[in-house]
A and B are shown apart, each in its own frame.
Chain A
Amino acid sequence: MMDRNKQIKSFISNIIDKNYAAATTELKSVVEAKLKQKIAKATKKDLF
């Protein structure tokens, strides 16, 4: 969670600095982490 907040802060900083390439990378990482979290949550449910 802390890492994700750091990544979001870094994303905002890069947007402010107009470093859009790095901002895109950070945004991808954040979105990927969020999707992984959702998948992990879904995996915990019983299959049958």
Chain B
Amino acid sequence: MSNISDLLKEVGKDVLTEDSLKQIETVFNETVDKKADERSKIATEAALTTQDAEHSKKLEELLEAIDKDHTKKLNKVVEAVDQDRTRKLKNVVRRYRQSINEEATSLKDTVVESVSDYLDSYIAEAIPTKTIEEATTNKRAYALLSDIRKMLSVDMVLANDSIREAVKDGKDTINAQKNELNELTKSHNTVSEELEDLKKDLYLERKLAGLDEKKTNFVRKTFKDKDLTFIEENFEYTVNIFDKKAQESLDLLKEEAMTESKTKEAKVEVVEEKSQAPKTAASRYAQELASMRL
């Protein structure tokens, strides 16, 4: 490249001196250098600006990617930590709840026992055991005394002397009247029995009048301990039975007399027939008649 000075020499070799040329060359060079510096500076700034923009964009993308990654990882970490802490906290809550329940039960029993003991001590202080025992003893003794009074018929009224005398008099009177009543009852019974015997004798006397002695004795013996109604009902029957038995005995004696006259030395065995246990009044009388020797 040819220098500016050479160009100017050729263009202005007749006009320009050597110094002028040098000056022009200097100025020109300075101006060109200056412009070149400015342009290079501008280009550098533009390049730097472009580079900054690119770098900024890349950095933003990088930061965004890093943020996303970190966020994702942090979320996982947070979730894991949350789960772990939650599990631990649940265990702690369960443990404490169990402990609280046990302690509460124990505390409840303790409180109940304390209240019971306090009431015992309060009652012991307000109403001493000795007082209760004394009152109980008095009550029991009073009840026992009342029972004894009832048993001995000694009432509270009888404790008074004047009333006691009146009651004694009343009791004596009652006893005397009771004895009198007993005697009267006894006398009445005796009189009644005598009256009954008299009625019975009178009846028998009237009925037996005109009969022979054996029949009379038999009838009296048969009705010895019987009452009048029985005698009235069975008199005729007894007399008939006596007559029948008497007739049978007579017949038997006649037959024996005849037998003895035919066979003087023959032994006659008398067979006695015993009837079974009589149950009716008629059979009883018949048995009695049979046992008698007419």
Interface residues of A (CB under 8 A from B): 4-5, 8-9, 11-12, 30-31, 34-35, 38-39, 42-43, 45, 47
Contact = CB atoms under 8 A, between A and B. Distances in A.
B133 interface: yes
A47 B132 contact: no
B51 to A, nearest CB: 80
Contacts of B141: 47
Interface residues of B, number: 17
Interface of B: 108, 111-112, 115-116, 119-120, 123, 127, 129, 132-133, 136-137, 140-141, 144
Given A9-B108, A31-B119, A43 B140 contact: yes
B119 A34 contact: yes
A13 to B, nearest CB: 10
Contacts of A12: 111-112, 115
Nearest to A35: B123
B137 A47 contact: yes
A42 B137 contact: yes
Contacts of A9: 108, 112
A36 to B, nearest CB: 10
A12 B116 CA distance: 11
Contacts, number: 40
A5 B114 CA distance: 11
Given A47-B137, A47-B144, A38 B116 contact: no
A5 B120 CA distance: 13
Contact of A43 (B112, B115, B136): B136
A38 B132 CA distance: 7
Given A30-B119, A34-B123, A35-B127, A8 B136 contact: no
A11 to B, nearest CB: 7
A39 B123 CA distance: 12
Nearest to A38: B132
Contacts of A31: 119, 123
Nearest 6 interchain pairs by C-beta? A42-B136, A42-B133, A8-B112, A38-B132, A8-B115, A42-B132
A26 to B, nearest CB: 11
A39 B133 CA distance: 7
